[in-house]
Amino acid sequence: MRNIIAFPLLGLAVILQSSIVSQIKLLSGYADLPLIILAAWALQERVKSAWHWAVLGCGMIGLISKLPWPVFVIGYLAVVFLAQALQRRVWQAPLLAMFSVTLLGTLFMHILSYVILRVLGTPLSIGVVLESITLPSLLLNMLFSIPIYTFMRDLARWVYPSEVYE
Amino acid sequence: MSSRSLQTTIIFLVIGGILALAFGGFFGSTSRQFSSVFVEIQTWASSRYLGIQDFFTAPRDLVSLRARNTELEAQVSQLQVQVIELQQRVNETEILAALVDFSRSNPESTYKAAAVIGRDPSPFLHYIIINRGSNDDIRRGMPVVTNQGLVGRVDAVIADAARVQLITDPASAVNVHLQNADTTAVALGSVTGDVSLDMISQDAIVQPGDLVLTSGLGGGYPSDLIIGQVITLRTLEYELFQQATIQPAVDFTRLAIVLVITNFRPVDITPLQPLPAP
**Spacing of C-alpha B79 from chain mean position:** 16
More confident residue, B235 or A99: A99
- Among B23-27, B178-182, B188-192, which stretch is predicted with the lowest mean pLDDT? B23-27
Nearest-angstrom CA–CA distance, B38 and A1:
88
Is A117 in Cβ contact with B127 (below 8 Å)? Answer: no
Question: Which of A17, A28, A121 minimises the CB distance to B121?
Answer: A17
Please report the pLDDT score of residue A163 as a whole number.
63
Task: Report whether B160 contacts B131 (CB < 8 A).
Answer: yes
Q: Closest to A65 (Cβ–Cβ): which among B121, B165, B193?
A: B121
Q: Do A29 and B123 touch (CB under 8 A)?
A: yes
**Mean pLDDT, residues B148-176 taken together:** 93
- Choose between A128 and B23: higher pLDDT: A128
Task: Choose the weakest-confidence range: B104-108, B109-113, B201-205.
Answer: B104-108
Position A107 scores a pLDDT of: 96
CB contact, 8 Å: B119 with chain A?
Answer: yes
Lowest-confidence pick of A119-123, B5-9, B108-112, B145-149: B5-9
**Position B117 pLDDT exceeds 80:** yes
Does the structure show a pLDDT above 70 at B112? yes
> Is the CB of A19 less than 8 angstroms away from the CB of B117?
yes
- Is residue A165 scored above 80 in pLDDT? no
DSSP run (H or E) holding B72: helix B29-105
Contacts (Cβ under 8 Å, ≥6 apart) of B3: none
Average pLDDT over residues A20-41: 92
Q: Which has the higher per-residue pLDDT, B276 or B43?
A: B43
For A75, B104, B143, B224, the CA distances from B109, given in Å and listed in that order, are 43, 9, 11, 12
Q: What are the backbone angles phi and psi of residue B226, rounded to the nearest 5°?
A: -70, 135
Contact A80, A51 (CB under 8 A): yes
- Measured between CB atoms, does B194 come within 8 Å of chain A? no
Q: What is the DSSP string of A25-94?
A: -BTTB---HHHHHHHHHHTSTT---HHHHHHHHHHHHHHH-SS-HHHHHHHHHHHHHHHHHHHHHSTT-H
Mean pLDDT of B132-138: 92
| B115 touches A: beta carbon within 8 Å | no
What share of residues in chain B are helix, strand, coil (percent, to 5)? 40, 25, 35
pLDDT of residue A166: 45
Give the mutation candidate from B116, B117, B119 for the A interface (greatest A CB count, under 10 A): B119
Q: How many CB atoms lie within 10 A of CB A162?
A: 7
Instruction: Output the pTM of the full model.
Output: 0.76
Is the distance from CB of A102 to CB of A145 less than 8 angstroms? yes
How far is it, in rounded angstroms, from Cα A164 to Cα B204? 81
Q: pLDDT band at residue B94, thresholds of 50, 70 and 90? A: confident
User: Is B198's pLDDT higher than 80?
Assistant: yes
Q: Is the Cβ pair B125, A123 closer than 8 Å?
A: no
Size of the A and B interface in Cβ pairs below 8 Å: 82
Other CB atoms within 10 A of residue B25 CB: 10
> In this predicted structure, what is the pLDDT of residue B123?
93
Percentage of residues in chain A having pLDDT higher than 90: 66
The pair phi, psi for residue B157, each rounded to 5°, is -130, 135
Mean pLDDT of B10-30: 74
For A157-160, the CB contacts below 8 A with 24+ separation are: A157/A46, A158/A2, A159/A2, A159/A3, A159/A5, A159/A46, A159/A47, A160/A2, A160/A44, A160/A46, A160/A47, A160/A48
Q: Is the pLDDT of residue A35 over 90?
A: yes
Question: What is the share, in percent, of chain B residues with pLDDT greater than 70?
Answer: 91
- Average pLDDT for A141-147: 94
In chain A, residues with a C-beta closer than 8 Å to the C-beta of B120 are 18, 22, 64-67
Nearest to A133 among B120, B123, B163 (CB): B123
Of the listed ranges A152-161, B20-29, B172-181, the least confidently predicted one is B20-29
The confidence band for B96, taking pLDDT boundaries of 50, 70 and 90, is confident
**Percent of chain B with pLDDT strictly greater than 90:** 45
ipTM of the complex: 0.90
- C-alpha dist (Å) from residue A39 to A2, A136, A143, A144: 19, 19, 14, 12
**Average pLDDT of the residues of chain A:** 90
- Tell whether the model's pLDDT for residue B151 goes beyond 90: yes
Q: Which residue has the higher pLDDT, A58 or B266?
A: A58
Instruction: Compute the average pLDDT of residues B18-30.
Output: 71
Residue B180 has pLDDT above 60, yes or no: yes
> Which residues 58-97 of chain A have a CB within 8 Å of chain B?
61, 64-67, 71
Query: Parallel, antiparallel, or unpaired: how do β-strands B257-261 and B226-234 relate?
Result: unpaired
pLDDT at position A164 over 70: no
Helix (H, G, I), strand (E, B) or coil at B138: coil
B136-173 in b/e form (b: 16+ CB < 10 A) is: bebeebbbbbbbbbbbbbbbebeeebbbbbbbbbbbbb
> Mean per-residue pLDDT for B137-146?
93
For chain B, give the mean pLDDT.
Answer: 85
pLDDT at residue B258 in the model: 92
Most B CBs within 10 Å, among A33, A36, A66, to test the B interface: A66
